[in-house]
Amino acid sequence: MNFLNAILIGFKEVWAHKFRSLLTMQGIILGVASLVAMAAVVAGMENGMKETMIATGGADKVLLQQQPVPAYQEHRADEAPGRTMVDVQALRKSAPLIRLVSPEMAFQEYVTITHGDKMVNPSECVGVWPAVLDMNLHTLEHGRFFNELDEENANSVCVIGTGIRDELFGNPEKTGQEIVPIGELININGQPFTIVGMFTHYESEQERKERELAKSKPAEKRAGPVRKRGWGGRGGWAFYSKNYTIYIPLNTMWLKFRSATGTNSIPDPRLTDIDMKVASLDLLEPALQQVRNVLLLTHKGIEDFSFQTQENQIENINTQIHKARLSGGIIAGISLLVGGIGIMNIMLASINERIREIGICKAVGATGSAIFLQILVEAVVIAVVGALLGLFASYNVVELVTIMAPSQNAPVIKPEVMVIAMLFSAGVGIIAGLFPAFKAAKLDPIQALRRD
């Protein structure tokens, strides 16, 4: 009795009772389908979260945040300097574990950008150093970024994201052509600025696919005036806000907008943000120590700052993914377990029904182990065929999930999950088949032959 033969007979047995086998398999089918679909949805989620994290600056980014003066130093609260260019210069000189420092100075009022009769409110309009490119992982597609000369002379130049262009000059999807408004004048809170550069269009993988799909399908004709459907536009918030960014030189910001607009028109030299990148993620702890030491010097010992790292975000992503995996896995596991119990039940019924056949096989010389192998293989065949059907079903389940709960993150069906699901099902089949197979192998041939 070789193995191949046993598999062949197993398939025959399954085929002989098609409907019953299908019913037996349903637990495995549902289990595998839900396992694969769950893993696909979680993988989609994970991709989305990672994309978002990279869009917001990557894992090695550290934010230096302002914090109220601690209680034991409250008597010195009016001496607290806040985050200023002094800190930036000190960090660049004395904190070698920090590879990049990017100061940001934002408007203290609402920002409105106009061009002709168009207007837009950017998500971010700040004065920066060129270091911001590396800091926030920007890619300049058209024109140039501002240089030291612009900084030195406080030139009225700006670099914009595509979202600003879309609003002020026209969306390429609507106008049908890519407008590059380099050299155009726009007004930032009433002050004229020349556009010298434009970033690339940021979008998630999912958005890119949707856009390409939309391109291949002509838009439906709509009656009535041109209108936007919904606010905000496409995409996740991270990509959206990145596209609606506008940068001007830090010095320009200081001289044109900030030097006379502090409290009671007293110049306010405080920065809105100091972003840093550590030389290496492994050295995050010592790097933060180093920054703290430097800043305690420049801040006269007042600890009015704190750090926010992307570490927390990575941790959050990992715990969320872990939780989603666990809950989905438990549900799929229970389903597979129930499927296994179903298989065992049917196998027990089946050997009871075939007790005479087993007796005949034993009479003509089948050993106990041959019968054992036969029943076990049959259970595994049911489980594996069920798992295959489950893999097919999983595609439909994923479709269903995307229809029922459309999200930014398309589910990703992973082949390794499929393999795991198959192996797990085969294991369930083996475990479910063990007891019935043992029972069949132990049958006394005389007793078995006497049964009708």
* Shortest separation between residue 446's beta carbon and other proteins, angstroms: 5
DSSP per-residue codes, 29-65: HHHHHHHHHHHHHHHHHHHHHHHHHHHTT-TTEEEEE
CB 303 within 8 A of CB 79: no
* Shortest separation between residue 434's beta carbon and other proteins, angstroms: 19
Report the residue from 81, 170, 233, 368 that binds other proteins according to the rule CB under 8 A: 368
5: contact with other proteins by CB under 8 A: yes
Backbone phi and psi for residue 157, each to the nearest 5 degrees, phi listed first: -120, 155
The nearer residue to other proteins, 353 or 399, going by C-beta atoms, is 353
Backbone phi and psi for residue 193, each to the nearest 5 degrees, phi listed first: -130, 145
How far, rounded to the nearest angstrom, does the alpha carbon of residue 7 sit from its chain's CA centroid?
Answer: 43
How many whole angstroms separate alpha carbon 241 and alpha carbon 338?
Answer: 47
How many whole angstroms separate alpha carbon 302 and alpha carbon 275?
Answer: 20
352: contact with other proteins by CB under 8 A: no
- The window from 104-112, 136-144, 361-369, 379-387 that contacts other proteins (CB under 8 A) reads 361-369
The nearer residue to other proteins, 331 or 449, going by C-beta atoms, is 449
366: contact with other proteins by CB under 8 A: yes
- The window from 64-72, 104-112, 148-156, 351-359 that contacts other proteins (CB under 8 A) reads 351-359
The SS3 assignment for 117 reads coil
- The window from 115-123, 252-260, 262-270, 366-374 that contacts other proteins (CB under 8 A) reads 366-374
- The window from 189-197, 284-292, 432-440, 442-450 that contacts other proteins (CB under 8 A) reads 442-450
* Shortest separation between residue 438's beta carbon and other proteins, angstroms: 14
349: contact with other proteins by CB under 8 A: no
Report the residue from 267, 369, 392, 451 that binds other proteins according to the rule CB under 8 A: 369
The nearer residue to other proteins, 174 or 450, going by C-beta atoms, is 450
How many whole angstroms separate alpha carbon 272 and alpha carbon 277?
Answer: 17
How many whole angstroms separate alpha carbon 180 and alpha carbon 315?
Answer: 40
How many whole angstroms separate alpha carbon 371 and alpha carbon 376?
Answer: 8
Token pair, residue 49, equals 């979260």
367: contact with other proteins by CB under 8 A: yes
360: contact with other proteins by CB under 8 A: yes
Tell me which DSSP letter residue 171 carries.
-
Other C-beta atoms within 10 Å of 406: how many? 8
Tell me which DSSP letter residue 69 carries.
P
60: contact with other proteins by CB under 8 A: no
Catalog residues that contact other proteins under the rule CB under 8 A: 1-2, 5, 12-13, 16, 356-357, 359-370, 445-446, 449
